[in-house]
Amino acid sequence: MDRGVEWDFEPTLDRIAALLDLLGSPQRAYPVIHIAGTNGKTSTARLVEALLRERNLRVGRFTSPHLISMRERITVDGQPLTEERFAEVYEEIAPYVELNDTQGRRIQFFELLTAMAFAAFADTPVDVAVVEAGMGGSWDATNVADGTVAVITPISLDHTDRLGPDIPSIAGEKAGIIKPGATAVLAQQTLEAAEVLMRRAAEVGAVVAREGLEFGVLAREVAMGGQLLTLRGLKGVYEEVYLPLYGAHQAGNAVCALAAVEALTGGDEPLDVELVRQAFAQVSSPGRMEVVRRDPTVVVDAAHNPGGMEATLEALHEAFGFAKVVGVVAVMADKDVDTLLDLLEPVLDEIVVTRNSSPRSMTAQELAARAVPLFGEERVRVVERLDEAIDTGIALADAEGEFSGTGVLITGSVVTAGDARHLLKADGV
């Protein structure tokens, strides 16, 4: 059934709200932790899920976009729906979708997936749903749910054609997930974003918890395979928490997840520190600063906007300290490509420009035309196919010698990260 493409949508909740009414409002069958923001949403969702599951709760998680399989977006108990269950959920709601269509409310692609997730979670049933907004917040299909806790991860410029040209506009859209009586967990924000979020919280009477004020990362040190954290939550301090994810941004995601779960549980008692340690020690976030090969070390990261790329490059320097870095880069044509290249230029010794599997991908030749003025022709390799580009990047690193300290960074898009993981046969979702 053709529902159009995911990135083509109209800003209204009418269609999805009408469909969910026909389905019996499954999004109201369980408490929801709703997550919006520009960067870090999926990682934060996985961290929240890990904490909740460690408390022996059955958790549904809805995230987007996927890296390899559409089924990754809808998980129960940490596992994507099986192919059979995914098809079954679609078939169960299809008659209601068709009925909605006949009433002049033709459901779009992302709305259909959102409805499937809410229906699957209600049918399981789950104890808690962790729901990531697809784009924005106010008009995102997921916003038919009223989150008991609303988490806003760091806001920066992205999707400016849809969400607005500046930070206040984008923050205003994302603030729409903060509902009356909810707890708003706010990651560290720029002043202009924070002002918008605080205004929204005041308007709807939400309780506010801000990173750096009501909670935060007290200490952080690099550890083998990740970092060791001391976190101050809303109800207590949690020491010696190992997180197998790289970068200060992931520490921020972790403490936001911690605060969100504390807020959901109510009361004044902190979470059991061993529970927090166990949960975070086993968390993963595929495609986010993920090592997919050694000798040479190949890191895959889904950074696709300036804020995300800045965090990635800081984490790359801190965690790996490569003497040289070869980049394999494929980006979407509608992104801020020039700023991404500006950020990469001081870090990459050589760049292999290519394209990913999306029809929205910038061609290798177009990307090269943007890169050459910054990097110079001698540092730019143009390879049309991503698989060959990865081989080229690894060969360039190998040519430096086994003890050169040269690494490979594959980045530029979630699709690029997903394609690379598939090609390099990385495990897990």
Residue 427: the pLDDT is 66
Structural domain ending residue among the three candidates 259, 281, 303 = 281
pLDDT, tens digit, 9 for 90 and up, residues 261-313: 999 998 899 999 999 999 999 999 999 999 999 989 999 999 999 999 999 99
Domain assignment present for residue 8? The answer is no
Domain assignment present for residue 122? The answer is yes
Alpha-carbon span 53 to 95, nearest angstrom: 33
Residue 1: the pLDDT is 45
When pLDDT is cut at 50, 70 and 90, the band that residue 159 belongs to is low
Q: What percent of the chain has pLDDT over 90?
A: 88
Same domain, 100 and 198: yes
Q: Give the pair of three-digit tokens for residue 162.
A: 């849809």
Same domain, 113 and 213: yes
Domain span at residue 419 reads 290-423
pLDDT, tens digit, 9 for 90 and up, residues 344-356: 999 999 999 999 9
Same domain, 305 and 395: yes
Residue 313: the pLDDT is 97
Average pLDDT over residues 134-144: 92
Average pLDDT over residues 395-411: 92
When pLDDT is cut at 50, 70 and 90, the band that residue 426 belongs to is confident
Residue 164 has pLDDT above 70, yes or no: no
Domain assignment present for residue 4? The answer is no
Q: How many domains does the chain have?
A: 2
When pLDDT is cut at 50, 70 and 90, the band that residue 403 belongs to is confident
Average pLDDT over residues 69-98: 96
Residue 12: the pLDDT is 87
Alpha-carbon span 406 to 404, nearest angstrom: 5
Amino acid at 275: L
Residue 100 has pLDDT above 90, yes or no: no
When pLDDT is cut at 50, 70 and 90, the band that residue 402 belongs to is confident
Measured in whole angstroms, the distance separating CA 64 from the mean position of its chain's CA atoms is 7
From 63-72, 95-104, 261-270, the region with the lowest mean pLDDT: 95-104
Same domain, 179 and 244: yes
Residue 5 has pLDDT above 60, yes or no: no
Residues 6+ apart with CB under 8 A from 25: none
Alpha-carbon span 55 to 64, nearest angstrom: 25
Distances (CA, A) of 368 to 129, 194, 301, 331, 332: 43, 37, 20, 11, 13
Residue 232 has pLDDT above 90, yes or no: yes
- CATH value at residue 30: 3.40.1190.10
Same domain, 324 and 400: yes
Torsion of CA 14, 17, 21, 24, to 10 degrees: 170
Distances (CA, A) of 172 to 6, 74, 180, 321: 22, 27, 16, 38
Same domain, 242 and 296: no
Residue 135 has pLDDT above 80, yes or no: yes
Measured in whole angstroms, the distance separating CA 157 from the mean position of its chain's CA atoms is 15
Torsion 223-225-228-231 (CA) sign: positive
Residue 212: the pLDDT is 96
Strands of the sheet containing 59-62, edge to edge, are 79-80, 74-76, 59-62, 128-132, 32-36, 149-152, 183-186, 207-210
Report the mean per-residue pLDDT for the chain: 93
Structural domain ending residue among the three candidates 248, 281, 314 = 281
Same domain, 49 and 182: yes
Residue 136 has pLDDT above 90, yes or no: no
Neighbour-count burial of 352, counting CB atoms closer than 10 A to its CB (0-12 exposed, 13-18 middle, 19+ buried): buried
Predicted TM-score (pTM) of this structure: 0.93
Residue 110: the pLDDT is 94
Residues 6+ apart with CB under 8 A from 357: 386, 415, 419
Same domain, 353 and 415: yes
Residue 162: the pLDDT is 66
Alpha-carbon span 358 to 388, nearest angstrom: 17
Place of tokens 């707890």: 183
Alpha-carbon span 84 to 61, nearest angstrom: 18
Same domain, 125 and 234: yes
Same domain, 255 and 325: no
Strands of the sheet containing 216-223, edge to edge, are 216-223, 226-232, 237-243
Torsion 279-285-290-292 (CA) sign: positive
pLDDT, tens digit, 9 for 90 and up, residues 315-339: 999 999 999 999 999 999 999 999 9
Domain assignment present for residue 9? The answer is no
Domain assignment present for residue 378? The answer is yes
Neighbour-count burial of 313, counting CB atoms closer than 10 A to its CB (0-12 exposed, 13-18 middle, 19+ buried): buried
- CATH value at residue 416: 3.90.190.20
pLDDT, tens digit, 9 for 90 and up, residues 27-66: 999 999 999 999 999 999 999 999 999 999 999 999 999 9
Same domain, 371 and 329: yes
